[in-house]
Amino acid sequence: MKKTLQKRLFTGALVLMTAVMGGQPAHAAVNKYQAMVAADVKKFQAYFHKEFPDVKLDEFANGVYALDEDARKQWKEMEEFPPYELDVEAGKAIFNKPFANGKSLASCFPSGGAVRGKYPYFDEKRKQVVTLEMAINDCRVANGEKPYPGFKGDLAKVSAYMAYISRGQKIDVKVNSAAAYKAYLKGKAFFYGKRGQLNMSCSGCHMEYAGRQLRSELMSPALGHTTHFPVFRSKWGEIGTLHKRYAGCNDNIGAKPFAEQSEEYRDLEYFQTIMSNGLKFNGPASRK
Amino acid sequence: MKSSGIIAAAAILVLPSLAMAADKPAAPAAAQPVLSPTAKGKALASDVNKGNCLACHMMADGEVPGNFGPPLSQMKERYPDKAALHKQISDATILNPKSIMPPFGKHGVLTDSEIDQIIEYLYTL
């Protein structure tokens, strides 16, 4: 019969494929969510390569300094005596300082805390995105300490230290389940959605008009947005988290800012970091 | 959250946090110098809390203009119909649903009479 023949052929092909792939069942290689997400990433990055053909993929980690030579020079000078240096040192001390129960942040994280490349990830048990800052506070709470308040201070300093000792780790954030894909889609909707009194979207400023001038501000490309946080920003006069930057951008268009580690911002960070898959973590950084 | 610092420092697109009352006449004019509609329009167009048009458009001698949108010049010649200009400022998404230009009238950033004053200024460009 025709059907059996097809079936046989199919099985034959499967056996062959299995042999080729070293015994891995074919379906495990790429799940359907990962495939949909990979297609998005490809499109997203292709957009920026087309807009900025001279900028290499890794360079997008440097925001506006990848686009403007003058700004880049000033920034390079600033980085000679990095304004975040003291914060990294303070972060190291905090990382190793014992809690009341004798344990420390160091007891929660492997590899001496050089784990930036593992975050953010979707926790399939808790059904939510876990960021590095969230994991830091989870560790404190699990050990009977209070979580650090958000946006800056000790939370940003520890995160800066952990980013610093993880520099060069590759971004490779995965989406492996329906629940993870849902969080990804929420972040994606946030990124492309217009909001606030001024009715603007992240993608409007950081994609469509990336490289243009908004008054005196050159608009950074969204590709590479999450590689280098936390950031010491001259305008802040201190080091702050990615979510502080998100809140600032929301505020500037008359949209409601969300809290540090809110689900909205964690999903947004998940989406944005996935869009930068293939780049390297290079935080902390200085910005004007 | 201490956001006021961020806003002030950012000096980009900022907006009135006060809800705009409807089209009320301004407070007693006595204390303020009397400005022509054109001068008022210019002030509104440059004010970062109001039109802030300079954030995105080059306008005559306005300092550090942005370049999201086209330069605003020859407005009288290009927009002989004031209503069309009013519509563009009040809600740019009517003409271009994807427009990044804020819908100033629709979202209550500028009142109708403020938009009219801006148009008086635009007509001098």
What pLDDT is attached to residue A150? 87
Note the pLDDT of residue B28. 52
CB contact under 8 A, A198 and B10: no
A-B Cβ pairs (cutoff 8 Å, strict):
76
Question: What is the β-pairing status of strands A285-287 and A231-233?
Answer: parallel
Contact A277, A184 (CB under 8 A): no
Please report whether residue A25 resides in a domain: no
In a domain, A37, yes or no: yes
Residues A239 and A251 placed together within one structural domain of the fold: yes
CB contact under 8 A, B109 and A197: yes
**Residue A260 CA to chain centroid, in angstroms?**
15
d(CA A244, CA A265): 10
Fold of B37-122: Cytochrome Bc1 Complex; Chain D, domain 2 (1.10.760)
Amino acid at A19: A
ipTM over 0.85: yes
Residue pLDDT, tens place only, A41-81: 999 999 999 999 999 999 999 999 999 999 999 999 989 99
pLDDT at position A15: 41
Q: Which residues of A touch B64 (CB under 8 A)?
A: 215-216
Residue A249 appears among annotated catalytic residues: yes
Residue A23 lies in a domain: no
Domain range for A119 is 85-164
Q: Which of A197, A247, A252 sits opposite B1 (nearest CB)?
A: A247
Of the candidates A49, A183, A84, A78, which has an alpha carbon nearest to the alpha carbon of residue A127?
A: A183
Give the angle A249-A242-B65 at the CA atoms, nearest 5°: 35
Q: What whole-number distance in Å separates Cα of residue A134 and Cα of residue A109?
A: 13
Boundary-marking domain end, from A115, A133, A164: A164
pLDDT above 90 for A283: yes
Which residues from chain B sit within 8 angstroms of residue A196, using beta carbons?
15
Are A91 and A69 part of one and the same domain? Answer: no
Residues 156-215 of A with CB under 8 A from B: 196-200, 204-205, 208-209, 212-215
Residue A5 lies in a domain: no
- Inter-chain contact A213–B67, Cβ cutoff 8 Å? yes
Give per-residue pLDDT as tens, A200-259: 999 999 999 999 999 999 999 999 999 999 999 999 999 999 999 999 999 999 999 999
Q: What sign does the dihedral B50-B55-B58-B64 (CA atoms) show?
A: positive
Domains held by chain A: number: 2
Is A198's CB within 8 Å of B17's CB? no
Do the beta carbons of residue A26 and residue A35 sit within 8 Å? no
Across the interface, of B13, B54, B108, the residue whose CB is closest to A252 is: B13
The DSSP call for residue A239 is: E
| Co-location of A105 and A198 in the same domain | no
How crowded is residue A250: how many other Cβ atoms within 10 Å of its Cβ?
A: 21
- Looking at the fold, whether A237 and A197 belong to one and the same domain comes out as yes
Token pair recorded at residue A224: 């590479």
Nearest to B9 among A196, A215, A235 (CB): A235
Q: What is the pTM of this model?
A: 0.88
Q: What's the confidence (pLDDT) of residue B31?
A: 59
Same-domain pairing of A205 and A222:
yes
The last residue of one of the domains, among A142, A164, A186, is A164
For residues B116 and B40, give the distance between their C-alpha atoms in angstroms, rounded to a whole number.
10
Residue A135 has pLDDT above 60, yes or no: yes
Residue A28 has pLDDT above 80, yes or no: no
A151 touches chain B (CB under 8 A): yes
Chain A positions touching B68 (Cβ under 8 A) are 209, 212-214
- Marked catalytic residue, from A108, A202, A205, A249: A249
Inter-CA distances, A263 with A23, A129, A196, A258, B22, Å: 39, 8, 19, 9, 36
Contacts of A204 in chain B (CB under 8 A): 100
Supply the pLDDT for residue A196: 96
Average pLDDT, chain B: 81
Please indicate, yes or no, whether residues A189 and A269 belong to a single structural domain of this protein: yes
**Is A236 in Cβ contact with B6 (below 8 Å)?**
yes
* Contact status, residue A271 vs residue A188, Cβ threshold 8 Å: yes
**pLDDT (tens digit, 9 = 90+) per residue, A1-15?**
344 444 444 444 444
Residue where one domain finishes, among candidates A164, A184, A217: A164
Predicted confidence (pLDDT) per residue in A86-134, tens digit = 999 999 999 999 999 999 999 999 999 999 999 999 999 999 999 999 9
CA angle B103/B104/B105 to nearest 5° reads: 100
DSSP state at residue A204: I
Q: Are residues A114 and A182 in the same domain?
A: no
Q: With a cut of 70, which residues of chain B have pLDDT below it?
A: 1-33
**Assigned token pair, A261:** 């580690």
- Which of A32, A11, A27 is CA-nearest to residue A181? A32
CATH number at residue A40: 1.10.760.10
Look up residue B55 and give its two tokens.
């954030």
Are A209 and B14 in contact (CB < 8 Å)? no
The secondary structure of B55-100 as a DSSP string is GT---TT-SS---SS----SHHHH---HHHHHHHHH-GGGT-TT--
Nearest chain B CA: its distance from A81 CA (Å):
23
Task: Assess whether A140 and A190 both reside in one domain.
Answer: no
Q: How does the average pLDDT of chain A come out, rounded?
A: 91
Q: Residue A91: CB partners within 8 Å, gap ≥ 6?
A: A157, A158, A159, A160, A161, A162, A164
**A109 and A242 inside one domain:** no
Q: Flag whether A39 is in a domain.
A: yes
